[in-house]
Chain A
């Protein structure tokens, strides 16, 4: 199976600052990568698919990039509602696999 590794585990950022999250695949997943946001007590929410396409209703401050094995999620100017855990997921191969998550916390 493809192993997804996210870094860092925790990112401390001040409101209004930029956050950059990384996701690495153990083998190429092409652009078949999605990003999700999860807040405490809630289900994950789709942010990005196809490595760089924002899902419906997702603000433009969220952007995704990368292909192959290296991917990045950037939040350009953190808002209070953006403090959460973010997961990447590859869908190039079965079984579908997720990264371990990056927690974005208030600095």
Chain B
């Protein structure tokens, strides 16, 4: 059974860069049937898809964040990572990593990490 675990600083200063890592166990991150994705959720609000990375290294980002986001993958460590630059208080949220189907008609999130709260504050 696939498990995902987010890690990274819980506090980031405004204008700095947020960096998180997701470690995957119980599944191969190189499996071409899946994308690996980040989603965030401000407190008491809805879900926002941030972007995804594929085993080839190809990426796709939400246009609302694209200028500030990079998602990358390290298959040897079974990890994928998120960096979000020039953060403001509006980036304060619980950040989730999740597995996303890559085959036609399967692009839903079938496994999620527990989430990690990142607060942007000086």
Interface residues of chain A, those whose CB is within 8 Å of chain B, are 1, 32, 34, 36, 42-46, 49-50, 55, 87, 89, 91, 94-101
Q: Are B115 and A43 closer than 8 Å at their CB atoms?
A: yes
CA distance A69 to B115 in the complex (A): 30
Q: Which residues of B contact A97 (CB under 8 A)?
A: 49
A101: nearest residue on chain B (CB-CB)?
Answer: B46
Q: Which 7 A/B pairs are nearest by Cβ-Cβ distance? A: A91-B107, A34-B108, A43-B112, A98-B47, A96-B49, A95-B62, A100-B46
Binary CB contact string for chain B from 95 to 109 against chain A (1 if under 8 A, 0 otherwise): 010101000011111
Which residues of A are found within 8 Å of B60, using beta-carbon distances? 94-95
Write the chain B residue with the least CB distance to A55. Answer: B110
With known contacts A43-B96, A44-B47, A98-B48, A91–B108 Cβ distance under 8 A: yes
Q: Which of A87, A89, A95, A97 has the most C-beta atoms of chain B within 10 angstroms of its own C-beta?
A: A95
Specify which of B48, B107, B109 is in contact with A44 (CB 8 Å cutoff): B109
